[in-house]
Structure 1
Amino acid sequence: MTSLDIDRLGRRAEAMLDELAAISEEPDRLTRRFLTPEHKRAAHLVAQWMAEAGMTTAEDALGTVRGHYAMAGEEAGANSVPRLLIGSHIDTVINAGKYDGMLGVVCGILAVEHFRDLGRRMPFAIDVLAFGDEEGVRFPTVLSSSAAVAGAFEPSWLDGRDRDGVSLRDAMQAYGLDPAGIPAAAMSRDEALAYVEVHIEQGPVLEHADVPLGVVTSIAGQFRTRVTITGMAGHAGTVPMGLRQDALLAASEMMLAAEAIAKAHPEASMVATVGQIGVKPGAINVIPDRVEFVLDLRAAADAPRHKALDQFLRKAEALAAARGCAVAFETYHDCPTAACAPWLQDQLAAGAGSLGLNPPRLVSGAGHDGQAMARLTDFAMLFVRCKGGISHNPLESATAPDMGAAVATLIRFIEDFRPPARAA
């Protein structure tokens, strides 16, 4: 077992993340949406790093950058070899931090670079994957890139449009991708031994426990439901309060109802969020006649999550009717709770243990590409402490020593990786 310079690994990760963070749609903050020119620039940089680390590179039909580190004895051009998958995403939210997603890609590259430097090949290949549609901030899709790798891409997603009316299909073609190639992006179950992702925690548990790393046990399930309320526009000065059909007031009551429903299910760690809302006609002196918002509903178990959504839909219909409005719903994202494989959890914990660490086990309230990859293979996640638990925010922060510990843990995990025997 070779010695590892954790400080150097952490500094390398920090420098690479700084370089990625400089690629943004906006000059004064980090925003990099799926299939934008900035996403393409970031993908090219990641592919360059992969090649420098000794991997062959390719880009699939959804823009996922794939670095392949061949197994011992692998013949050039072999189409089907057993491989350990390591990855995360390089798209961001609006006004993002520089660690969310990108850290997992950088950790995978640095781990492979370690074995390249040793001239060492494993009895399995290693694929590092840089996905692009994890955040779901541009199109009404989430995890489409990783879903394509898992063979779970829905063709109807191609017709989804962003706020500018650009469809996913058109954006792919503008990026230089061919939608007809999506089926070829899927891996087979025989190829994929496991999927592992390193990610900042995006919560305060590890910092509170004063430990750098944690092993994830499961990822909470999630709904995204678009709610459209239709009322009647009118003059703000002449329509009496009792005669109004104010779509915005109806929407406001619905959002408060969602909050109350989530608070009523603390046993399921349920959370409800509305982070996007549109109001029309959008004039100061006109009563709103159309409001659209998206409800993000998450829970650690699927049964209470489904029950809560049903409760919200019924309550929203009643609130709309009470104000003389109509309401319509579109649940366009339903991602079930995904459990991390215990055998992978144990091997990640052992990797950290070899460094003298004892990582706690914890649930992820945030969604991740692992939820899509779970349709292909067993998966696990390693969380890295982040300051204040802050994420989706420029204040997002992780220390170089903690990131170095994550890379070192991943290296130890790969050194001792043993997939369970598969049934014949």
Structure 2
Amino acid sequence: MTTSPTVNDPAWSELAQRALACCADLAACTEVPGQITRTFLSAPMHGAHARLDVWAADLGLDTQVDAAGNWRATRRSPRPDARTLVIGSHLDTVPNAGAYDGVLGVVLGLSLLEALRATPLPYHVEVVGFSEEEGVRFGVPFIGSRALIGTADGLLQVTDAQGKTVAQAITDYGLDVGTLGDAQLSGDVLGYLELHIEQGPVLEAEARPLGLVEAIAGQSRLSLTFTGKANHAGTTPMRLRRDALTGASAFVLAAETLAQNTPGLVATVGSLIVLPGAGNVIPGEVQLTLDLRHAQDEVRREALARLLAQAGQIAEERGLSWTSELRMEELATPMNPALTALLEQALRAEGHSAAAVVSGAGHDAMLLGQVWPAAMLFLRSPGGLSHHPDEAVLLPDVEAALQVGTRFLRLLAEEAR
């Protein structure tokens, strides 16, 4: 493709098909045959990088893998002193994943440069395939994007399930951990654009192929433990029990009720460990997780305070003790107004609704958006399904995203000039 296709040009479909074929090709890079599982700096990531190198070389891009394992491809502007626009998403996956979460955004970055192959741009473009967004291997998300903004050094001694440190994983992959500081993006950054599947049902319910992201919800993740007294299930009267599971259950329902009555709040208890875990023993201890999200940090924090107060009340009423530990907190990240306005203009120009949506899922834009201007575009997820082998995307939606993304880059070029 030597020139940008026009609306209804079959070249859009051809380019969208190439993007989806690339995603399918990358899906073959997996740690588990028959599944898509590709964790941070695992061996199959070499194959993913090599496949992307082929397309990047055809576009004449400079490529490298930095010390954090991020795959980076750069198109230089004719203006040496130009600012840099970053387009990216992540290449790692959850276990038994779908083919598009993260990966599609990286591939679409290359697709946009393909569409604008013959068009000079007044800014550099760097397409980044982040090495770690999901947090599967080391329990810490966003290692790749943290490296790009210069905040990954403190994670080098974090260990995985085998006791291997992040530093050792970097070395084992064939990278020089001593050059991690060089992964930080230098120069004047114009902004960050991320295209991503929605991973939820809103766009499909509204019959919209694309969505303009106005903010990424902030997150609080906690571990809680309710402790009572294990005892015989047959001989201990109900009035004399100190059942940790019934207390934990009351807390789970309290979290659900609060979220149902607080617009925009989502609360999830995704894991329960019941001890001692025998059918004829009253549970003496329950360990659980809480995931709380909202686009406004003050709402999320107020909800968390109310839930912790309820945990204390539940424990007191039931003769239990309890503890909580904050495991992670990510601030809500509003998208940059100026870049979002350009993306809205591009959507409307291509005949799409520009109604805004909030991302309940975390993305690399959460980290980069705290340092540089960021914008996000969602593609509809059929069935609202993600983190699942049946995750899908529609070819016409990919075409639409390419059309909108290309127009956005042109609008940005007009402003940059």
SS of corresponding position for 1:14 = helix
Which one of the candidate residues 370, 375, 393 is aligned to 1:380?
375
For structure 1, list consecutive stretches of 5 or more residues without a partner in the other structure.
Answer: 75-79
C-alpha contact (below 8 Å) 2:333/2:370 kept by paired residues:
no
C-alpha contact (below 8 Å) 1:13/1:400 kept by paired residues:
no
Structure 1 counterpart of 2:107 = 106
Distance 1:419 1:317 in 2: 57
Structure 1 counterpart of 2:147 = 148
Distance 1:136 1:172 in 2: 15
Find out whether 1:181 has 2:187 as its counterpart: no
Structure 2 counterpart of 1:139 = 138
Structure 2 counterpart of 1:182, one-letter code: L
Task: Give me the CA root mean square deviation.
Answer: 2.7
Find out whether 1:345 has 2:340 as its counterpart: yes
Cα 1:364–1:238, aligned 2, differ >3 Å: closer, same or farther?
same
Return the offset for 1:124. Answer: 1.2
Identity between Structure 1 and Structure 2 (%): 41
TM-score by length of 1: 0.87
Find out whether 1:205 has 2:212 as its counterpart: no
Cα 1:229–1:420, aligned 2, differ >3 Å: closer, same or farther?
farther
**Is 179-188 or 83-92 further displaced after alignment?**
179-188
Find out whether 1:2 has 2:4 as its counterpart: yes
Alignment of 1:59-208 (within 5 A): 59-74=65-80, 82-116=83-117, 118=118, 120-153=119-152, 155=154, 157-188=155-186, 190-208=187-205
Alpha-carbon deviations, 1:271-326, whole Å to 9, x = none?
01122333444455555444433211101211110011111222223333444443
Find out whether 1:227 has 2:224 as its counterpart: yes
C-alpha contact (below 8 Å) 1:140/1:332 kept by paired residues:
no
Distance 1:419 1:315 in 2: 54
Return the offset for 1:400. Answer: 1.1
Structure 2 counterpart of 1:77 = none
Structure 2 counterpart of 1:377, one-letter code: W
TM-score by length of 2: 0.88
C-alpha contact (below 8 Å) 1:229/1:327 kept by paired residues:
yes
Structure 2 counterpart of 1:172, one-letter code: I
Structure 1 counterpart of 2:125, one-letter code: I
How many residues are matched?
410
Distance 1:248 1:173 in 2: 44
Structure 1 counterpart of 2:321 = 326
Distance 2:168 2:230 in 1: 35
Structure 2 counterpart of 1:89, one-letter code: H
Cα 1:63–1:3, aligned 2, differ >3 Å: closer, same or farther?
same
Structure 1 counterpart of 2:184, one-letter code: A
Distance 2:57 2:96 in 1: 30
Distance 1:16 1:52 in 2: 14
Which one of the candidate residues 303, 307, 326 is aligned to 2:302?
307
Distance 1:216 1:144 in 2: 23
Structure 2 counterpart of 1:14 = 20
**Is 8-17 or 391-400 further displaced after alignment?**
391-400
Return the offset for 1:168. Answer: 3.4
Structure 1 counterpart of 2:83, one-letter code: P
Find out whether 1:253 has 2:250 as its counterpart: yes
C-alpha contact (below 8 Å) 1:134/1:142 kept by paired residues:
yes
Cα 1:320–1:29, aligned 2, differ >3 Å: closer, same or farther?
farther
C-alpha contact (below 8 Å) 2:79/2:123 kept by paired residues:
no
For structure 2, list consecutive stretches of 5 or more residues without a partner in the other structure.
Answer: none
Distance 2:379 2:267 in 1: 25
Return the offset for 1:84. Answer: 0.5
Cα 1:246–1:85, aligned 2, differ >3 Å: closer, same or farther?
same
Cα 1:199–1:265, aligned 2, differ >3 Å: closer, same or farther?
same
Structure 1 runs of 4+ aligned residues shifted over 6 Å read none
Distance 1:298 1:50 in 2: 37
Distance 1:40 1:394 in 2: 22
